[in-house]
Amino acid sequence: MDRRTRQLLVLAAWCAGFLLLGYSVWSLQAGSLMVIGYVAAGVMVYVIRALFIRCPKCRMPVLLRPRKVLGMELYTWSLLAPPACRHCGEPLP
Protein backbone atom coordinates (compact mmCIF):
# COMPACT_ATOMS: atom_id res chain seq x y z
CA MET A 1 0.00 0.00 0.00
CA ASP A 2 1.53 3.32 -1.03
CA ARG A 3 1.64 6.55 1.00
CA ARG A 4 -1.25 8.25 -0.79
CA THR A 5 -3.59 5.28 -0.24
CA ARG A 6 -2.72 5.25 3.48
CA GLN A 7 -3.45 8.98 3.66
CA LEU A 8 -6.83 8.48 1.98
CA LEU A 9 -7.69 5.67 4.41
CA VAL A 10 -6.76 7.83 7.42
CA LEU A 11 -8.83 10.71 6.04
CA ALA A 12 -11.81 8.38 5.45
CA ALA A 13 -11.46 6.96 8.98
CA TRP A 14 -11.37 10.49 10.44
CA CYS A 15 -14.54 11.45 8.53
CA ALA A 16 -16.27 8.22 9.61
CA GLY A 17 -15.27 8.90 13.23
CA PHE A 18 -16.62 12.43 12.92
CA LEU A 19 -19.96 11.18 11.62
CA LEU A 20 -20.23 8.42 14.23
CA LEU A 21 -19.27 10.73 17.08
CA GLY A 22 -21.58 13.47 15.87
CA TYR A 23 -24.51 11.11 15.44
CA SER A 24 -24.04 9.39 18.81
CA VAL A 25 -23.31 12.35 21.12
CA TRP A 26 -25.08 15.32 19.53
CA SER A 27 -28.20 14.85 21.66
CA LEU A 28 -26.19 14.83 24.91
CA GLN A 29 -25.82 17.98 26.96
CA ALA A 30 -22.19 18.60 25.92
CA GLY A 31 -22.39 16.71 22.61
CA SER A 32 -21.66 19.74 20.47
CA LEU A 33 -18.55 20.46 22.55
CA MET A 34 -17.33 16.89 21.96
CA VAL A 35 -17.73 17.32 18.21
CA ILE A 36 -15.90 20.67 18.31
CA GLY A 37 -13.14 19.04 20.39
CA TYR A 38 -12.86 16.20 17.86
CA VAL A 39 -12.48 18.69 15.00
CA ALA A 40 -9.97 20.78 16.99
CA ALA A 41 -7.89 17.68 17.79
CA GLY A 42 -7.94 16.68 14.11
CA VAL A 43 -6.80 20.15 13.04
CA MET A 44 -3.96 20.11 15.59
CA VAL A 45 -2.74 16.71 14.35
CA TYR A 46 -2.85 18.01 10.76
CA VAL A 47 -0.90 21.18 11.64
CA ILE A 48 1.81 19.21 13.41
CA ARG A 49 1.98 16.74 10.53
CA ALA A 50 2.07 19.53 7.93
CA LEU A 51 4.96 21.30 9.61
CA PHE A 52 7.14 18.25 10.27
CA ILE A 53 6.83 16.30 6.99
CA ARG A 54 9.54 17.75 4.79
CA CYS A 55 11.28 16.89 1.53
CA PRO A 56 14.56 15.03 2.20
CA LYS A 57 16.39 17.04 -0.47
CA CYS A 58 15.25 20.70 -0.15
CA ARG A 59 13.73 20.55 3.41
CA MET A 60 10.56 22.41 2.33
CA PRO A 61 7.21 21.26 3.81
CA VAL A 62 5.70 18.65 1.50
CA LEU A 63 2.09 19.78 2.03
CA LEU A 64 2.87 23.37 1.03
CA ARG A 65 1.46 24.08 -2.44
CA PRO A 66 2.67 27.12 -4.44
CA ARG A 67 0.02 28.90 -6.56
CA LYS A 68 0.23 31.83 -8.95
CA VAL A 69 -2.39 34.51 -8.23
CA LEU A 70 -2.21 37.82 -10.14
CA GLY A 71 1.49 37.26 -10.81
CA MET A 72 2.31 36.60 -7.14
CA GLU A 73 3.37 33.25 -5.76
CA LEU A 74 1.12 32.37 -2.81
CA TYR A 75 1.29 29.20 -0.73
CA THR A 76 -1.64 27.08 0.42
CA TRP A 77 -1.77 23.79 2.32
CA SER A 78 -3.09 20.55 0.85
CA LEU A 79 -4.56 17.51 2.61
CA LEU A 80 -2.70 14.85 0.65
CA ALA A 81 1.01 14.80 -0.08
CA PRO A 82 2.00 14.75 -3.77
CA PRO A 83 4.04 11.89 -5.28
CA ALA A 84 6.99 14.26 -5.79
CA CYS A 85 8.15 17.47 -4.08
CA ARG A 86 6.54 20.55 -5.64
CA HIS A 87 9.68 22.62 -5.10
CA CYS A 88 12.57 20.45 -6.30
CA GLY A 89 10.79 17.55 -8.04
CA GLU A 90 12.40 14.86 -5.83
CA PRO A 91 10.22 11.72 -5.56
CA LEU A 92 8.94 11.36 -2.01
CA PRO A 93 9.34 8.08 -0.12
Query: Tens of pLDDT along 8-40?
Result: 898 899 999 988 888 888 777 777 888 888 899
Per the domain annotation, does 86 fall within a domain? Answer: no
Per the domain annotation, does 91 fall within a domain? Answer: no
Q: Which positions ≥6 away from 76 have C-beta within 8 Å?
A: 64, 65, 67
- The number of folded domains in the chain is 1
Supply the range of the domain harboring residue 58. 3-77
Q: How far apart are CA 25 and CA 32, in angstroms?
A: 8
Angle at 11 between CA 44 and CA 79, to 5 degrees: 65
pLDDT band at 51 (very low <50, low <70, confident <90, very high): confident
Per the domain annotation, does 49 fall within a domain? Answer: yes
Per the domain annotation, does 88 fall within a domain? Answer: no
Mean pLDDT over each residue of the chain, to the nearest integer = 86
Q: How far apart are CA 4 and CA 7, in angstroms?
A: 5
Regarding pTM above 0.75, the answer is no
> Averaged over 60-74, what is the pLDDT?
88
Per the domain annotation, does 67 fall within a domain? Answer: yes
pLDDT band at 83 (very low <50, low <70, confident <90, very high): confident
Contact 46/53 with Cβ under 8 angstroms? no
Percent of the chain surpassing pLDDT 70 = 100
